[in-house]
Amino acid sequence: MASPTETHIPLPDSEVPPLSFFTGDKVLDNEACLSSVPIHIVTKASQLPEEFLHPSPEKEVVIGFDCEGADLCRQGTLCIMQLSFPNAIYLVDAIQGEESLVQACKPALESSYITKVIHDCKRDSEALYFQFGIKLHNVVDTQIAYSLIKEQEGQKRLQDDHISFVGLLADPQYGGISYVEKEEVRVFLRQDPKFWAHRPLSELMVRAAADDVRFLLFIYHKMVEKLNERSLWFLSVRGALYCRCFCINNNNFADWPALPTVPATLVAGNQAPEEETLSVLDVPPGKMGFVIGRRGANILAIKEGCSAEIIFGSDKGPPDKVFIIGPVRQVRKAEAMIRGKLQQHYR
């Protein structure tokens, strides 16, 4: 693509009305609240911003981030990385640019000086780790942030109540738009699982990839202003644990960056939250059904009995493992309950 395409992004610092005032790339009203930015198709590292390629404490950066791929996970193929800056969107073409281009992004993706705003980081992190050896670090996961805001407002979180990106955008606080284009792409993906691997990039592919990141900085600013210090710490540590979730290795993540420490102000104020952890529990092959139970009865009872997040690899794997994230005591409680279900079977 010889010249960059353009799209519109909401301005985080403006008093922006609901984004339903525009759909796709056609602005319907209130253009003053939107910024027209170029979409760059990147096949060489030199096309990326200097502050991204060379992270620095003197110039910390917040970007929107997402990945697209053919069966995006450890075995699949990462095809595109989307980077959203306030003044441009960059679609990093991992197919055309090959591994050398992705490796050029490694310092930024692992840097503490670049905050990556993403919605549900688990599979993106898994693909980056197993395909390119990249340990995604310093993320703000908007799916986690949404739950924390609800908890902070006193709403009890339901088990498995993970808001989708479409659902997040539909919330009037974070856009109030109907992301109908997402379903269009899902139809293509069902018909052709290698949709994101085709080249050249079609107009639909460019638009869909940009749409997945162009709202993220707006959402980030809206969320951060709602979160208190305690919730911000939870957001940081849970984001780090979610990045590790499917990235199983043999050294207990010793080569990953240390988890964020509890702020001194929370410790001094006797508000220090309990340490959070990730546990990976092995289940004997073929026995996962006993953990889940008929119609999910067992796992539902376990989730209701502890305040920990319980995650399965599902069809993409990894198989025969249960991932548990949460406060240490709650994680240990969930482990004991799962082992108890397995022991009942062997009696």
**Is residue 232 located within the same domain as residue 283?**
no
Instruction: Tell me the CATH number at 42.
Output: 3.30.420.10
Residue 13 confidence class, pLDDT cut points 50, 70, 90 = low
CA gap 204, 212 in Å, rounded: 12
Of the candidate ranges 126-135, 149-158, 233-242, 293-302, the one whose mean pLDDT is the lowest: 149-158
Does residue 40 sit within a domain? yes
* pLDDT of res. 249: 85
User: Which two three-digit tokens encode residue 254?
Assistant: 């010793």
User: Which two three-digit tokens encode residue 246?
Assistant: 């499917």
Sign of CA dihedral 39, 44, 47, 53: positive
- Pairing relation of β-strands 61-70 and 77-85? antiparallel
Instruction: Tell me the CATH number at 340.
Output: 3.30.1370.10
The pLDDT of residue 1 is above 80 = no
User: What does the DSSP assignment read for 140-183?
Assistant: EEHHHHHHHHHHHTTPPPPTT-PPPHHHHHHSGGGT----HHHH
Domain count, the chain: 2
* pLDDT of res. 22: 39
Residues 75-104: pLDDT tens digits?
Answer: 999 999 999 999 999 999 999 999 999 999
Residues 107-154: pLDDT tens digits?
Answer: 999 999 999 999 999 999 999 999 999 999 999 999 999 999 999 998
Does residue 263 sit within a domain? no
Of the candidate ranges 45-59, 146-160, 165-179, the one whose mean pLDDT is the lowest: 146-160
**Is residue 310 located within the same domain as residue 220?**
no
The pLDDT of residue 31 is above 60 = no
* pLDDT of res. 49: 98
Looking at residue 36, the DSSP 8-state letter turns out to be E
Higher pLDDT, 17 or 229: 229
Residues 147-169: pLDDT tens digits?
Answer: 999 999 988 766 667 899 999 99
User: What does the DSSP assignment read for 269-295?
Assistant: TT-PPPPEEEEEEE--TT-HHHHH-GG
Final residue of a domain: which of 239, 262, 290?
239
The pLDDT of residue 18 is above 70 = no
* pLDDT of res. 25: 40
Does residue 264 sit within a domain? no
Residue found under tokens 């376990």: 302
**Is residue 228 located within the same domain as residue 280?**
no
Does residue 98 sit within a domain? yes
Does residue 266 sit within a domain? no
3-state secondary structure (DSSP) of residue 226: coil
**Is residue 156 located within the same domain as residue 39?**
yes
**Is residue 164 located within the same domain as residue 229?**
yes
* pLDDT of res. 317: 78
User: Which two three-digit tokens encode residue 118?
Assistant: 């993403």
CA gap 120, 228 in Å, rounded: 21
* pLDDT of res. 3: 43
Q: How crowded is residue 268: how many other Cβ atoms within 10 Å of its Cβ?
A: 9
Final residue of a domain: which of 239, 259, 290?
239
- Domain containing 337: what range? 274-346
**Is residue 290 located within the same domain as residue 227?**
no
In this prediction, residues 323-344 reach a mean pLDDT of 93
**Is residue 145 located within the same domain as residue 229?**
yes
CA gap 270, 60 in Å, rounded: 31
* pLDDT of res. 23: 41
CA gap 280, 113 in Å, rounded: 29
Three-state DSSP string of 62-73: EEEEEEEEECCC
**Is residue 282 located within the same domain as residue 235?**
no
pTM: 0.91
Final residue of a domain: which of 239, 262, 293?
239
**Is residue 231 located within the same domain as residue 321?**
no
* pLDDT of res. 158: 64
Higher pLDDT, 163 or 30: 163
Cβ-in-10-Å burial (0-12, 13-18, 19+) of 101 comes to buried
Buried-exposed string 271-306: b where 16+ CB fall within 10 A, e elsewhere: eeeeebbbbbbebeeeebebbbeeeeebbeebbeeb
**Is residue 223 located within the same domain as residue 289?**
no
Does residue 60 sit within a domain? yes
With CA atoms as reference, report the closest residue to 271 among 231, 227, 311, 244. Answer: 231
3-state secondary structure (DSSP) of residue 214: coil
Residue 347 confidence class, pLDDT cut points 50, 70, 90 = low
Query: 201 and 185 in contact (C-beta within 8 Å)?
Result: no
**Is residue 290 located within the same domain as residue 213?**
no
The pLDDT of residue 17 is above 50 = no
Query: 246 and 126 in contact (C-beta within 8 Å)?
Result: yes
Does residue 244 sit within a domain? no
* pLDDT of res. 5: 86
**Is residue 215 located within the same domain as residue 287?**
no
Amino acid identity at 304: E
Does residue 261 sit within a domain? no
Rounded percentage of the chain residues whose pLDDT exceeds 70: 91
Amino acid identity at 220: Y
